[in-house]
Structure 1
Amino acid sequence: MTDDDGALFPLPARPGAGPATAAYPFAAPAELGDVMHPQWAAALAPAAGTVHALAGQLAEQRREGREILPAPANILRVFEQPLDAVKVLIVGQDPYPTPGHPIGLSFAVDGSVRPLPRSLANIYKELQSDLGIPPAPHGDLSAWADQGVLLLNRVLTVEAGKAGSHRRKGWEQLTELAVRALVDRGGPLVAVLWGRDAQDLAPLLGAVPRVESAHPSPLSAARGFFGSRPFSRVNELLALQGAAPVDWRLPSSPGR
């Protein structure tokens, strides 16, 4: 089994993508439009070279026997929805480093994961305090993404068991470009910045309304996250821009 040089990620084959192989579904190096929504592909085109370089690095790490998270098909999942549909940006750091947990959406985990990560449990606790919504029995936040909530980690991959291991490898260039694309597009848009890493993006946001607080991590949640009412504040800011609110309730069963 060999990997095609320059291919992006081993995503499920799509009609018209070319002959599939066991390693990669594309006969030729994939274009961004093959692995994300066309609107995002156009906006992120200046970083295509970086994405291809990262793909090569990840393929090499896999050949060395390292486990890369999330699963390949979820690495760029955050860009599945149209750029035009995004109305809320929630910025995370990097994927959970536990195998089977990350699904390509910041703060979310696979629907089978128990117990939930403590940061996510704190998010659910604040959601109940803010809007009276009981915690979901799972950690799959796909229903938020489907409503235009971009759950964007600053770094999109991690080596299993090594939190932060893929920081400063190039993902930040791509995700910063994504934020700039949203700002250039204009509203309605609200940014949610939890913690210092997310708040480093504030200078890029210009006049975009922001909800900022401490991170929901158990190390910092009591220092400003709890009681910050981010969910109702987001909906209030959306209403001021003439946009429909987000329904923050999650289904009883995972989305995928």
Structure 2
Amino acid sequence: MYLDLMERSLTGAAHGMEETGERGRNGRVAKLVSEGYKPISQTMLGRKRLRNVRWCTERVLKDGVPGDLIETGVWRGGATIMMRAVLKAYEDRTRQVFVADSFEGLPPPDADRYPADAGDRHHLIDELAVSLEEVRANFERYGLLDDRVRFLKGWFADTLPEAPIDSLSVARLDGDMYGSTWDALVNLYPKLSVGGYLIVDDYGAVKGGRQAVEDYREEHAITEQIETIDWTGVY
């Protein structure tokens, strides 16, 4: 019941303003920009992708898969709040939830290093920049802000190589670009425990993000099945 209520609240459904996630991120952002719309929800995932976060987190707890949890690219923090809520519901007192974001929006594309990002305009969308203070306040709103929530502020290329993470059971990537996705894969996938889950939010929505996943899988001969969550999310 607690986690069901969290799901409804985080998506705005409990307030009659659910973000379904079916329009796609670009459509949702366009609505935010054109109409000045400020949803109550703390996530743009919609019910299916948020439910996947919950399922993966519950699964690693039930299966005893070791490791902390992380999301790279958190917007208002909804997915990581759900991760922390699952740990609370299962009375897990050992794992940490890492909340990785610049908290200043997305970086300009580095087309020399990542040609797939040439022309990317995500860095121009102010609505994607949510401050660290706002995300912390969202955790606090649900009574989930404690010393087991760790914030990694900065570009992934700078923060992830030095992140104090030994192992991961769930890693959720939401970088919206080839470079951001690649940096997360390079630094986090080697720490993913056997039996753990890698989730990619924008595999279907962002060509560059999908290409980063495919390039990394090919380079490291990764053959695990990619499972579909909805029109864009996979794990």
Q: What is the TM-score with the length of structure 2 in the denominator?
A: 0.30
Higher helix share: 2
Q: Which has the larger radius of gyration?
A: 1
Q: What is the TM-score with the length of structure 1 in the denominator?
A: 0.28
